[in-house]
């Protein structure tokens, strides 16, 4: 069965990593002749898969892609067999990324005794498609487009990037995997003004360093990138870099330096000499004032839960003295700002605790700036178990199918275990409310959703006139 992700039905979220059968990247033009099939495969996971099995899998996908191209100009997105689901993503012309997951099926023997295996164990395809897109965007940020590499280099480049990427990818199946957004931290005017003044003063005194993000804990306060690139950088920070740094701080290895003075955390070992500057990585990003993606050095500084990211033009002659001076400048000022933000977060935490105590949960997402908000507040260090997998699946299906809500719409779904899931759409904003109420009727649920929306999204979520 070949289909589009836009036509998918409800699937239950499960242990994704355990169900992944394979992940591979191929380009048919790299091995056009018979006998050169392996040259088409840029990367294949798991690597211990036999060459014949790799060729068989990729050959099937090539045939499906070619077959579908005769019927539609839109690229193929999904293929389902009795035991596997294939998710396709073409990030660049000729380059295909494929994720294959195992799905359960019912045999005649099981059916005869009344046992079945079905939708309860099937991964939502839209989530898998987003995982493929994220995998490519992360590669593009750190390595650039696939097309930039000659054929003799692309195999090694893909292996060096994707082998550690797959092993370190944490698929926790919480709401942040269903809706990929950015968690913003709202500040009062005075605190936000302090952040802006800090950034302006820094860029005036150190013109080579351009601030591209200011994050406190896992919440974004200021952004200087295009929205898609900010999401990719944000995911890298909160899913990879910051959890490792927090773990070090908890273990005590960097607590003193982090809390009193701050330090460079990218490169992870810090910057202590001219030689350390060779470890700075280059990234491909589009800043707000850029008209196209450019290559920059990425510098990350952290103190007291505040993390600031900078870009430096790749043509700048890097000297250790400028980083030592920058460290002395940032440390005291950033510590003072972080203390102010910490006080606000303490007050905000009291309000969040009250929301967490409520059985009514909500999820807000803005497609324009990717703003994402939930109750209770989530983070990757402590994934949420507050929303059941079945409910997550329903939200994922509504979110991935824009036509279900339209520009202005509302849908209410009741599950067999007495969950009411309401989805609202207005002005590119989505709002979901999860209520578990056994004896409620439709009007009572609608009234409660409106009350929650007005209380939590006042001035943010707008109803059509």
DSSP H or E segment with residue 363: strand 361-366
320-357 vs 189-205: helix axis angle to the nearest 10? 160
How many Å apart are CA 55 and CA 61, to the nearest integer? 10
Higher pLDDT, 142 or 69: 142
Contacts 24+ apart (CB under 8 A), 203-208: 205/329, 206/322, 206/325, 206/326, 206/329, 208/312, 208/313, 208/316, 208/322
Q: Which residues contact 234 (CB under 8 A, 6 or more apart)?
A: 182, 213, 215, 220
Check residue 293 and give its pLDDT: 95
Q: Quote the tokens at residue 456.
A: 């939590």
How many Å apart are CA 210 and CA 199, to the nearest integer? 9
Confidence of residue 265 (pLDDT cuts 50, 70, 90): very high
Integer CA distances (angstroms), 88 to 2, 11, 136, 358, in order? 11, 18, 12, 40
Q: How many CA atoms lie within 13 A of 19 on its CB side?
A: 22
How many Å apart are CA 272 and CA 324, to the nearest integer? 8
Q: Which residues contact 343 (CB under 8 A, 6 or more apart)?
A: none
Confidence of residue 119 (pLDDT cuts 50, 70, 90): very low
**Which residues is 313 bridged to in the sheet?**
296
Please check the confidence at residue 434 and state whether its pLDDT lies above 50. yes
Please check the confidence at residue 106 and state whether its pLDDT lies above 80. no
Confidence of residue 454 (pLDDT cuts 50, 70, 90): confident
Check residue 122 and give its pLDDT: 55
**pLDDT tens, 23-35?**
999 999 998 888 8
The stretch 295-302 carries a mean pLDDT of: 96
**Which residues is 84 bridged to in the sheet?**
102
Please check the confidence at residue 300 and state whether its pLDDT lies above 60. yes
300: left (phi over 0), alpha (psi -120 to 50) or beta: beta
Q: What is the mean pLDDT of the chain?
A: 84
Higher pLDDT, 89 or 176: 89
Check residue 354 and give its pLDDT: 57
Check residue 402 and give its pLDDT: 72
Please check the confidence at residue 166 and state whether its pLDDT lies above 70. yes
Q: Are 331 and 295 in contact (CB under 8 A)?
A: no
């Amino acid at each position: 069965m070949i289909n589009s992700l836009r036509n998918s039905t409800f699937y239950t979220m499960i242990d994704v990593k355990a169900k992944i059968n394979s992940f591979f990247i191929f380009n048919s033009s790299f091995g056009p002749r018979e006998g050169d099939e392996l040259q088409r495969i840029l990367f294949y996971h798991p690597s211990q898969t036999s060459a014949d099995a790799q060729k068989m899998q990729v050959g099937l996908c090539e045939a499906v892609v070619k077959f579908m191209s005769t019927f539609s100009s839109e690229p193929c997105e999904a293929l389902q067999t009795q035991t596997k689901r294939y998710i396709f993503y073409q990030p660049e012309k000729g380059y295909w990324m494929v994720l294959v997951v195992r799905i359960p099926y019912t045999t005649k023997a099981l059916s005869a005794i009344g046992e079945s295996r079905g939708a309860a164990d099937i991964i939502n395809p839209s989530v898998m498609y987003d995982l493929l897109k994220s995998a490519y965007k992360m590669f593009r940020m750190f390595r650039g487009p696939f097309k930039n590499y000659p054929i003799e280099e692309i195999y090694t480049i893909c292996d060096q990037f994707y082998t550690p990427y797959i092993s370190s990818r944490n698929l926790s199946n919480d709401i942040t995997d269903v809706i990929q957004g950015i968690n913003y931290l709202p500040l009062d005017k005075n605190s936000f003004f302090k952040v802006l003044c800090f950034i302006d003063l820094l860029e005036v005194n150190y013109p080579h360093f351009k601030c591209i993000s200011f994050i406190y804990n896992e919440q974004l306060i200021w952004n200087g990138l295009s929205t898609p690139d900010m999401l990719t950088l944000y995911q890298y920070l909160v899913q990879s870099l910051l959890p490792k740094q927090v773990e070090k701080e908890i273990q005590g290895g960097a607590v003193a330096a982090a809390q009193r003075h701050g330090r460079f955390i990218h490169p992870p070992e810090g910057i202590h000499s001219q030689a350390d500057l060779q470890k700075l990585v280059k990234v491909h990003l589009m800043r707000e004032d850029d008209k196209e993606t450019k290559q920059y050095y990425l510098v990350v500084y952290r103190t007291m839960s505040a993390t600031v990211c900078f870009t430096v033009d790749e043509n700048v002659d890097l000297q250790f003295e400028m980083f030592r001076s920058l460290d002395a400048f940032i440390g005291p000022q950033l510590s003072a700002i972080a203390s102010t933000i910490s006080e606000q977060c303490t007050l905000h935490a009291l309000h969040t605790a009250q929301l967490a105590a409520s059985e009514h949960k909500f999820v807000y997402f803005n497609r324009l700036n990717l703003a994402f908000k939930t109750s209770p507040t989530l983070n990757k260090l402590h994934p949420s178990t507050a929303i059941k997998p079945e409910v997550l699946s329903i939200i994922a299906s509504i979110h991935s199918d824009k036509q279900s809500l339209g520009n202005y719409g509302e849908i209410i779904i009741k599950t067999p275990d007495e969950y009411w899931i309401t989805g609202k759409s207005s002005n590119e904003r989505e709002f979901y409310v999860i209520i578990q109420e056994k004896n409620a009727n439709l009007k009572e649920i609608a009234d409660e959703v409106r009350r929650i929306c007005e209380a939590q999204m006042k001035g943010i979520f707008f109803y059509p006139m």
